[in-house]
Structure 1
Amino acid sequence: MPQIIPIKDLKNTSEISQMCQASDEPVFITKNGYGDMVIMSMKLYEEKMFMLDVYGKLIAAEEQITEGKVLDGDTSLKRIREKYNV
Structure 2
Amino acid sequence: MPQIIPIKDLKNTAEISELCHKSSDPIYITKNGYGDMVIMSMENYEKLIKKINLYKELEISEKQIEEGNVKDARTSLSSLREKYDL
TM over 0.5: same fold? yes
Alignment of structure 1 residues 29-40 onto 2, 5 Å: 29-40=29-40
Q: So what's the TM-score if we normalise by structure 2? A: 0.97
Report the residue type matching 1:46 in the other structure. Answer: E
Measured in 2, the distance between the counterparts of 1:41 and 1:3 equals 14
Segments of 5+ residues of structure 1 without an aligned counterpart are none
Which residue does the alignment assign to 1:56?
56
Shift of 1:82: 1.2
Aligned alpha-carbon RMSD (Å): 0.6
Segments of 5+ residues of structure 2 without an aligned counterpart are none
Measured in 1, the distance between the counterparts of 2:36 and 2:62 equals 35
Measured in 1, the distance between the counterparts of 2:64 and 2:18 equals 44
Measured in 2, the distance between the counterparts of 1:72 and 1:18 equals 50
Which residue does the alignment assign to 1:18?
18
Structure 1: which 4+ aligned runs deviate by more than 2 Å?
A: none
Shift of 1:77: 1.0
Give a deviation string over 1:35-78, Cα, whole Å, max 9, x none. 00000001100110010111110011000000100011111111
The count of aligned residue pairs is: 86
Which residue does the alignment assign to 2:45?
45
Identity of counterpart residues, as a percentage? 59
Which residue does the alignment assign to 1:69?
69
Report the residue type matching 1:58 in the other structure. Answer: L
